[in-house]
Chain A
Amino acid sequence: MSDKVLMKGNEALAEAAIMAGCRHYFGYPITPQTEVAAYMSKRMPKINGVFLQAESEIAAINMVIGVASTGKRVMTSSSSPGISLKSEGISYLAGCDLPALIVNVQRGGPGLGGIQPSQADYFHATRGAGHGDFHLLVLAPASVQEMVNLTFKAFDLAEKYRMPAMILSDGTMGQMMEPVSLDAGEIHEYDKSWALTGTKCERKPNIINSLCLQPEELERLNVERYERYKIVERDEVMYEEYMMDDADVCIVAFGVAARVSQNAIDKARAAGIKVGMIRPITLWPFPKKVLLDTADRVKAFISVELSMGQLIEDIELATRCKKPVLLCSRVGGMIPSTDNVLDKIKEADKIGGAN
C-alpha cells in the first residue's frame, strides 16, 4: 500500500508551502482558489504562523511585500481577476528584488469572466504581470504532486535569484484530488543580508526600494536584473517530454491541457500516428532550446491551450517559425476534449513530410 494521501491540488499546494517554511499567508476570497486560504486559516494558527484575510488583493500583495522585505518566506494566492489587482505589487516585488510566491488558480476572463478553468493569464504571467521590464519565475503544475514539488521549487528559485515566483495553475489542478507524497526535499539557505531585520544599531540601514530617479542608474539596475534573468534562462528551464523519440508531430501544452493531450497522444499512437509532447514546466524561463532543436526533426507543432492563442506565440518565437504551429484551443472555462486534440493531431500529420 502506498504512503501517499489523496489531496486537493489547492490544499496540497498550501501544505507544501508550509513544509517549505512559509509561515505568512495573505489573501482574499475568490473562486476557484479559496481552498488555499481556507487551508491556511486552519493550519497557520497551529504552527505560530500568520494567516490574514486582507481587505483587498492589493493590500494582500503589499502585506506580502512587507514580509518579503524581512527575508521570510511568504505567499499569496488568488484567481485571475484578483491577480490583475496584485499586478502593481508584483511589479514592486520585482523592482525591489524580493522573493515571494504568488499562486494564480486561473479562471476564464477577461473582466469578471467565469469560474471554470482557463489558461488565459499566460501572457500576464510571462509578459505583463505589472509595469516595467521584469520577469517572474512561472511554474505550471500538471498534477497534484507537481502542485507540491513546484511550490517547493518556486520558493527555492525565488530566494536563489531574489525575484517573485508564480505558480500558474488552473481550476482543474486546484480542485482535483490525486495521490500525493508530501516529502518535497530539503530547504536551501541563501544570503539574506539584505533583509530588514532592524539594524540593532550595529550595521548601516538596509533599504528595500524600487525608486531610482537617475536614468543612468535605473538603466544599470535593469541591465543587472536582466543579467540575472539570463542565468535563470540558462540554468532553470524545466520541461518534460512524452513520446518524443520518434515523433513527427510535437504537441506543446502545460497544466490540464497537457493531461488531455496525453490521452490524445495515446489514442493517436494506437492509430499509428507518431506524435509526442513537450510539456513546459517552467513557462518562464521558456524551454526555447529544446523546441528549436525539435523543429529540425518534426513536421509540425500543435499548441494545446485554454486560451485564444497565447502559448502559441512562444512556440513560434522559440522555433523561429521553422515549422507550422497549429492551434487547438478552448476558452471561457471549456477544456479541449481528447477528440479535439486528436483531430488536430490528424490535421498536423497530413502536413507534408518532415524536413
Chain B
Amino acid sequence: MATVFSKPEALTDAPLHYCPGCTHGIIHRLVAEAIDELGVRGRTIGVASVGCSVFTYNYFNCDMVQAAHGRAPAVATGVKRSDPNNIVFTYQGDGDLAAIGTAETVHSAARGENITVIFVNNAIYGMTGGQMAPTTLPGQVTQTSPYGRDVNTVGYPVKVCEMLSKVDGATYLERVAVNNVKNVRAAKAAIKKAFQNQIEGKGFSLIEVLSTCPTNWGMTPDKALGWLEENMIPYYPLGVYKDKYAESEVK
C-alpha cells in the first residue's frame, strides 16, 4: 500500500505535549520537513529554549541542547562556532526571544551568526499560564494584564522583524502565520529558505511565526485561529522584512 502521508524523519515518535489546538505542532512539522528535504538531519543541532517549546529536545530527531531562558542564540553561537559545518537552529517563544533574550537576539543578528532562528510569537507566556508577553497586543487581557495591556504603563509590543530589519548583520527576516492552509504553505517555504540560507553560509535568518494559544487566550482552537487573523496579523503584518541577497540581486 502506498504511503501518502508520513511523519518527517526529523521528528521522533514522542507524543507532543502541547495543548489541543496549539499550533506548535504544525511549526515543528514544518521545521522537520525542511530539515528532511534539505538532507541535513545528520549534521543538525537544535537549541531548545524555555517556554512551552522547552521539550523540543524530545521531538526533533537530531542532537539537541536545552538552553537557559533567552540564551538560545548565544548557545547556538557556541555550537555553530565549534563546527561551522553544523546546521544549527533555535526554537524560541516570544518571552524567550523578545524579552529576557533580547540582547542575545539582537547581537547574534548583528554578528550575522550563520544560524536559523524559529521565533514562535503567540502574544502570551504559555508555559507559565498566560502572562503578558513582550508581544501581547495593546488592550489584550492576560493574567498579568487583567485590565488589558495598557501601553501607557507597560509600553508597546516589540515588533521583532521590524526591529531586526535595521540590523546590518541580519540576512533574512520574514513573518509568517500558521492559521490557514495558505499561510502554512508560505511558512513552510520561509522556514526552508532560512535553513537553505544557512547551508549556503548566508548568515542570520529569523522566521517569526504567528501562532495561537487557545488555552491561555481562553478560546476554542477555531476561534483562536480567527483571533490571530483579525488581531495579530493587522498588528504584525506578514511578509519579508529583510532579504539581503534579494536586495543585492535586485540592484
Q: Residues on A close to B: CB < 8 A?
A: 24, 26, 50, 52, 54-56, 58-60, 62-70, 72, 74, 88-89, 92, 96, 196-202, 205-211
A59 and B63 in contact (CB under 8 A), knowing A70-B82, A211-B54?
no
Pair B104/A211 contact, Cβ less than 8 Å: no
Q: In the complex, what distance in Å separates the CA atom of A304 from the CA atom of B82?
A: 42
A54 and B66 in contact (CB under 8 A), knowing A59-B104, A67-B82, A196-B45?
no
The 9 A-B pairs of least Cβ separation, nearest first, read A66-B78, A62-B74, A55-B107, A198-B43, A63-B78, A62-B71, A196-B63, A201-B42, A70-B82
**Interchain CB contact (< 8 A) of A199 among B41, B55, B83, B106:** B41
Inter-chain contacts of B77 with A (CB < 8 A): 52, 59, 63, 66
For the complex formed, measure the closest distance between the CB of B170 and the CB atoms of chain A, giving whole angstroms.
15
A-B contact pairs, 20 of them (CB 8 A): A55-B103, A55-B106, A56-B103, A58-B103, A59-B71, A60-B74, A63-B81, A65-B71, A66-B81, A69-B75, A69-B82, A196-B63, A198-B42, A198-B63, A199-B41, A199-B61, A201-B42, A205-B60, A208-B64, A209-B65
Q: Is B62 an interface residue (CB 8 A)?
A: yes
For the complex formed, measure the closest distance between the CB of A6 and the CB atoms of chain B, giving whole angstroms.
33
What 5 new A-B contacts, CB under 8 Å, besides A59-B71, A207-B63, A209-B48?
A54-B74, A63-B78, A65-B74, A198-B44, A199-B42
Pair B62/A205 contact, Cβ less than 8 Å: yes
Could you mark each residue 83-96 of chain B with 1 if its beta carbon is under 8 Å from any beta carbon of chain A, else 0? 10010000000000
Q: In the complex, what distance in Å separates the CA atom of A197 from the CA atom of B44?
A: 9
For the complex formed, measure the closest distance between the CB of B66 and the CB atoms of chain A, giving whole angstroms.
4
Inter-chain contacts of B67 with A (CB < 8 A): 62, 65, 92
Inter-chain contacts of A54 with B (CB < 8 A): 74, 107
Q: In the complex, what distance in Å separates the CA atom of A67 from the CA atom of B107?
A: 18
- Residue of B at shortest CB range from A195? B63
Inter-chain contacts of B107 with A (CB < 8 A): 54-55, 59
Inter-chain contacts of A96 with B (CB < 8 A): 65-66
Q: Residues on B close to A: CB < 8 A?
A: 12, 41-45, 47-48, 54-55, 57-58, 60-68, 71, 74-83, 86, 103-104, 106-107
For the complex formed, measure the closest distance between the CB of B104 and the CB atoms of chain A, giving whole angstroms.
5
**Interchain CB contact (< 8 A) of A62 among B41, B45, B104:** B104
**Interchain CB contact (< 8 A) of B62 among A24, A60, A88, A199:** A199
- Residue of B at shortest CB range from A88? B68
Chain B contact surface mostly: helix
Pair B81/A205 contact, Cβ less than 8 Å: no
Inter-chain contacts of A207 with B (CB < 8 A): 57-58, 63-66
For the complex formed, measure the closest distance between the CB of B168 and the CB atoms of chain A, giving whole angstroms.
15
For the complex formed, measure the closest distance between the CB of A126 and the CB atoms of chain B, giving whole angstroms.
23
**Interchain CB contact (< 8 A) of A66 among B54, B60, B64, B65:** B65
**Interchain CB contact (< 8 A) of B63 among A67, A74, A89, A206:** A206
Pair B63/A197 contact, Cβ less than 8 Å: yes
Pair A24/B81 contact, Cβ less than 8 Å: yes
Q: In the complex, what distance in Å separates the CA atom of A64 from the CA atom of B79?
A: 9
Inter-chain contacts of A58 with B (CB < 8 A): 71, 74, 103-104
A66 and B43 in contact (CB under 8 A), knowing A207-B64, A208-B64?
no
Pair B86/A198 contact, Cβ less than 8 Å: yes
Pair B63/A202 contact, Cβ less than 8 Å: no
A52 and B81 in contact (CB under 8 A), knowing A196-B63, A207-B57?
yes
Q: In the complex, what distance in Å separates the CA atom of A65 from the CA atom of B90?
A: 14
- Residue of A at shortest CB range from B77? A63
Pair B41/A201 contact, Cβ less than 8 Å: yes
